[in-house]
Amino acid sequence: MQAQLKKADETMGRRIDHMCKEFSEIRAGRANPAVLDKVKVDYYGAPTPVNQLAAVSVTEARTLTIQPWDVSVLRQIEKAIQTSEIGINPQNDGKVIRLIFPPLTEDRRKEIVKDVQKIAEETKIQIRNARRDTIEKLKAMKKAGELTEDDLKQGEKKTQDLTDKYIKNIDKLSADKQKEILEM
């Protein structure tokens, strides 16, 4: 039973980590290098992340600077950013690329908040699915004679407690991100 609970805890933890990564990739008006995580550059025939080809830094609150180690790849980085779904036009001065994040409109903030809520809800569903899977495994263990009825009830309660803890964590992280977006 402990192994099942430990596995559920690890699964739920991974779901929270994934949600936090998705939150970091949301463009919220402030320069954040994580928005480039999904941008791949065709570098000698291989799709390569921007952060492996260049130094990416935040020079001002709303400006990202991308300085490639190999200047010949500057055009490919610029092209990859333009074709990505970031929604920002890169400014190329021949040595570095600058991404200037415009301030968000009120409507855009509300759209982003809806995206955050959607990601949070999807994560909650994944947490509940992990709870269901764990409880099914515990019931199978009882059926096989590995657990008593009391152990099963205790396992179900611990699984529910774990689920409640992670759902509360999701709600807090989501509320913090929404507050961050609306206060910019």
Which domains does the chain carry?
A: 2-25+105-182 (1.10.132.20), 33-100 (3.30.1360.40)
pTM: 0.71
Show the beta-strand stretches assigned E in 37-182: 40-43, 46-49, 54-60, 63-68, 91-92, 97-100
Question: One digit per residue, pLDDT tens: the chain, 184 residues?
Answer: 888 899 999 999 999 999 998 887 776 667 778 888 888 988 888 888 888 889 999 888 788 899 999 888 889 999 888 888 777 889 999 889 998 888 878 888 888 899 999 999 999 999 999 999 999 999 999 899 898 999 999 999 999 999 999 999 999 999 999 988 887 6
- Phi first, then psi: give them for residue 29, nearest 5 degrees: 85, -20
